[in-house]
Structure 1
Amino acid sequence: MSDAVLPFSLNQFSAADIAAIDAAIDRDELVRRVLELCNIPSPTRREREAGQYVFDWMAEEGFAPEKVALVEDRFNVVGRFGGEGDGPNLLFSSHLDTESPFYEPVDRHTYRPETLADPQWLQAWLEDEVFFGYAVGNDRGPMVCFIMAAKALKAAGFKLSGSLYLTACPGEIGPEPVDEHQGVASLGKELGAAYMLAHGGVAPDFAISAEGTDFGLNWAACGYAYYKITVYGEALFTPILDHETQTARLNPIVRMGGVIEAVNAWARTYEKTHAYESEGGGTVTPKVQICAIRGGNPQSIGASSEVCSIYLDVNMGPLQTIGAVDRELKAVLRAAGFEDCEVRPYVFRAGAEADPVAVQPLKAALDKAHASVRGGPMPVGHTVYSSMWRDHNVFNLNRIPSVTMGPVRWRPSVDDLVACTRIYALATLALCGRVA
């Protein structure tokens, strides 16, 4: 699509503009900021210290940050730059929490001891110009890139016509309320980007979820439903148990084996049945996995449990509905002979896709920036990046055309993050425009 038919005309930047932005990007500071921010432990539910670092940094750079919080110690940070004319507004967002154990007793039933001991959960370091540490890729490395991009634009003297919003959000990874884990302490996404969009005083025309995509572009993404499947039975006292007539029929833990077999068979066909081709996401491949199981009390096992439950992660493509998924899963279990099990979703978040026409100005700006930095238009990101939840769903569900785009996802180099910073800065200039 040419600039002439876009709702917004792209700002043309020159070789001098590119040179000015490049000169304003301090490579050493970028490395320092990545290591400082990513060495702040920030497992989900414990984002406060990392959020305070980002708030203080934005204040230092003159981006007038605000804290936007549903929960006081898990706040969003919203900074602002530009807005001196009538150009389109652009919002960048990354999440403050990093995939990691909860560092609670439950982790002993989730991770191997050597996995729990991996220093990359909570630490980051630089080795031969390559960053190590999960927080760098997911997701504070890209967060540093867009703050550094805004700083470079400001330092180079550009006055943006549209507003640029810089946002750092908690809770993108989770957790989710379930069973005895209820209340605000167990909330994840409700207090992050969704709350920030509703209460953060932002008015974006476009949004970029700044996460690692290996420099690819995706504007379609999966949502998900978490399901709890429960099988009931009888407490069979071990000394009087008759295996021939009772175990397979009455022990719910044993019966759950058949449920697991049926669900796994369904999972293999589900991803083929519901694969979805998107211009902005390649092949979206929603998948199903059994991720947890509960049953019985290990302190008292003289008799079997009467209850056993498994917990499913059911990914859902942009066009799937929860009602249809619910019927499909229940039909699978009925066909396998488990009419009496209880099947219930305890989380539902819809997938989304940007309007393919409305997103074109943002795509064009990123293509233009990518061509200047790395050559050629930005490629479609790998299917894995459209087959998961990312926070651009929040914006696309609210009719704000949004993409996910970022640097190398796994162990990015310093050069990768510098290149991403340049792309973010140039795309911002191309989209938001400038005033004299």
Structure 2
Amino acid sequence: MTGTPDAIDPDATIELLQELVRIESPYFEEDEIVAFVYNWLAEAGLEPEYHPVSEPELTGYEGNNVLARLEGTDPDAPTLLVNAHVDTVEIVDGWDEDPLSGRLEDGRCYGQGACDMKGGLAAAMVAVRALADADLRGDVLFTAVVDEEGPYGLGTNQLLRDGVVGDCDAAIVTEPGPVLAQSDLENPALLLGARGRFLYDIGVRGRAAHGSKPHEGTNAVVDAGRLAAALAEMDVGTHPKLGAGSVCPLSIEGGGETLSVPDACRLLVDRHVVPGEGPDDVLEDAERVADGLGLDSAVEIGFREAPASDVYYGPYLTDADHPLVGSLEAGAESVTGTSPAIGYFSSVGDFNYLGHRAGLPTVILGPDGENVHGAGEFVYADEVVDVARILVAAASDYLG
């Protein structure tokens, strides 16, 4: 049956998943998989287009997203964005098999990026192909984006910069949900929000002296360590649905002379935030902690350099009563026979850009797995099929 969940062919979907997994595609090196996705969509008659992504100042990155739009019959009906990223982390050490094997065993498909997020990408691709045969009132915009795993989420950032999603009314991101949720969940599950994130970039300036007479200098490394410990214990915001924020010192770099008191140190600190904690608040919190320590070193607190001042991961929430959520709940129950669990994401991703910066009601729906970003990563193959079918059912309901 065309244009319905039954149009999703399990064998073809899993075969596509394996093909995607077998393409090495770490962030900034996505050309091969981008071409594959483009050609697959073209062969399906979906008339895809490349969308250039450029960030010359900090990364020198040049690449392409892939876009495909299904036009509905009613210009006043909503437009649904379906977003998936094509990149993965770098292949990690520790694999005892080919990390790009796409091997199937006991319902699991193995490979780096299988769960994050070649599974969600495959589900989105076959769902959009099936929806092309549906009689929809509203549009579907599919965006296969680059660099989600990189430092800035350049692919989805470019969508916002260029106004590509400006006519969208809601979004589904097919990231793996339960494995990265705030609480223990099983699929089917809908994640309706996420905390945000800032990365403190802190400079600590002391005074050099001979290492045999440390009292004559001011040790920037020691003061940076004190500051890192204090930041890790500082009060952070809480939210009834997203939980508590968090602080995690990531690195301290300084010194290195064989017999000198270090006079400079750089400290990087992760800060996950909840609604109500914006950039100014986050800076003021850290400055208050530093001032309270009375360090002899000078401290300069800022954020990691970014392509623009608005390129950061803000927190967001989607109303559980939004029509898209209702459509996804109905779709999940019709496909799986189970009402979906409701949860929230523990970290950040492109969904933050869509939910926070673009202000779109954004829901995460994706197949589950384990060992995300690690050796032995896998995705549950049957959940890839389920997610595709839920997408078709929900989009058909939401778009009419």
TM-score of the aligned structures, taking structure 1 as reference length: 0.77
**What is the aligned partner in structure 2 of residue 129 from structure 1?**
107
Aligned counterpart in structure 1 of residue 175 of structure 2, from 188, 197, 211: 211
Between Structure 1 and Structure 2, whose CA radius of gyration is higher? 1
How many corresponding residue pairs? Answer: 368
Is the CA contact 1:42–1:122 (under 8 Å) kept in the aligned structure 2? no
Matching of residue 286 in structure 1 with residue 245 in structure 2: yes
Matching of residue 62 in structure 1 with residue 65 in structure 2: no
User: How far is 1:135 from its partner?
Assistant: 0.9
Is the CA contact 1:83–1:161 (under 8 Å) kept in the aligned structure 2? yes
Is the CA contact 2:193–2:318 (under 8 Å) kept in the aligned structure 1? no
**What is the aligned partner in structure 1 of residue 93 from structure 2?**
116
Is the CA contact 1:85–1:162 (under 8 Å) kept in the aligned structure 2? yes
Which has the larger displacement, 328-337 or 402-411?
Answer: 402-411
**What is the aligned partner in structure 2 of residue 220 from structure 1?**
193
Aligned counterpart in structure 2 of residue 351 of structure 1, from 305, 309, 314: 314
**What is the aligned partner in structure 2 of residue 336 from structure 1?**
293
User: How far is 1:425 from its partner?
Assistant: 0.9
Q: Which runs of 5+ in 1 are unaligned?
A: 1-15, 102-114, 176-187
User: How far is 1:350 from its partner?
Assistant: 4.5
**What is the aligned partner in structure 2 of residue 377 from structure 1?**
339
Matching of residue 421 in structure 1 with residue 388 in structure 2: yes
Greater helix share, structure number: 1
**Whole-Å Cα distance in 1 between the matches of residues 358 and 213 of structure 2?**
58
Q: What amino acid sits opposite 1:126 in the alignment?
A: L
- The within-5 A match list for 1:26-425 is 26-71=9-54, 73-86=62-75, 87-100=77-90, 116-118=93-95, 124-154=102-132, 157-175=133-151, 188-189=152-153, 191-199=154-162, 201-202=164-165, 203-214=167-178, 215-238=188-211, 241-243=212-214, 245-246=215-216, 250-266=218-234, 269-270=235-236, 274-277=237-240, 282-297=241-256, 300-338=257-295, 340-346=298-304, 349-354=312-317, 356=319, 360-381=322-343, 383=344, 385=345, 387-396=346-355, 397-410=357-370, 411-425=378-392
Q: What amino acid sits opposite 2:367 in the alignment?
A: P
Q: What amino acid sits opposite 1:343 in the alignment?
A: I
Is the CA contact 2:2–2:130 (under 8 Å) kept in the aligned structure 1? no
Greater strand share, structure number: 2
TM-score of the aligned structures, taking structure 2 as reference length: 0.84
Taking structure 1 as reference, are residues 60 and 42 closer, same or farther at Cα in structure 2, changes over 3 Å only?
Answer: same
Which contiguous aligned blocks of 4+ residues in structure 1 show a shift greater than 6 angstroms?
none
Q: What amino acid sits opposite 1:405 in the alignment?
A: L
Is the CA contact 1:42–1:50 (under 8 Å) kept in the aligned structure 2? yes
**What is the aligned partner in structure 1 of residue 182 from structure 2?**
none
User: How far is 1:296 from its partner?
Assistant: 3.0
CA RMSD of aligned residues (A): 2.5
Taking structure 1 as reference, are residues 409 and 287 closer, same or farther at Cα in structure 2, changes over 3 Å only?
Answer: farther
Q: Alpha-carbon deviations, 1:9-44, whole Å to 9, x = none?
A: xxxxxxx889x532x222222122111112222212
Q: What amino acid sits opposite 2:349 in the alignment?
A: R
User: How far is 1:338 from its partner?
Assistant: 2.5
Is the CA contact 1:367–1:377 (under 8 Å) kept in the aligned structure 2? yes
Q: What amino acid sits opposite 2:194 in the alignment?
A: A
Corresponding residue SS for 1:37 = helix
Q: What amino acid sits opposite 1:98 in the alignment?
A: T
Is the CA contact 2:2–2:134 (under 8 Å) kept in the aligned structure 1? no
Q: What amino acid sits opposite 2:93 in the alignment?
A: L
Is the CA contact 1:209–1:392 (under 8 Å) kept in the aligned structure 2? yes
User: How far is 1:124 from its partner?
Assistant: 3.8
Is the CA contact 2:207–2:218 (under 8 Å) kept in the aligned structure 1? yes
Q: What amino acid sits opposite 1:275 in the alignment?
A: T
Taking structure 1 as reference, are residues 74 and 367 closer, same or farther at Cα in structure 2, changes over 3 Å only?
Answer: same
User: How far is 1:201 from its partner?
Assistant: 4.3
Corresponding residue SS for 2:233 = helix
Q: Alpha-carbon deviations, 1:333-386, whole Å to 9, x = none?
A: 2212227222112256252435628x61100110110110123432212x4x1x
Is the CA contact 1:99–1:121 (under 8 Å) kept in the aligned structure 2? no
**Whole-Å Cα distance in 2 between the matches of residues 124 and 308 of structure 1?**
44
**What is the aligned partner in structure 1 of residue 5 from structure 2?**
21
Q: Alpha-carbon deviations, 1:150-175, whole Å to 9, x = none?
A: 22334xx4222211111111122222
**Whole-Å Cα distance in 2 between the matches of residues 292 and 425 of structure 1?**
44
**Whole-Å Cα distance in 2 between the matches of residues 285 and 35 of structure 1?**
37
Q: What amino acid sits opposite 1:263 in the alignment?
A: L
User: How far is 1:286 from its partner?
Assistant: 2.2
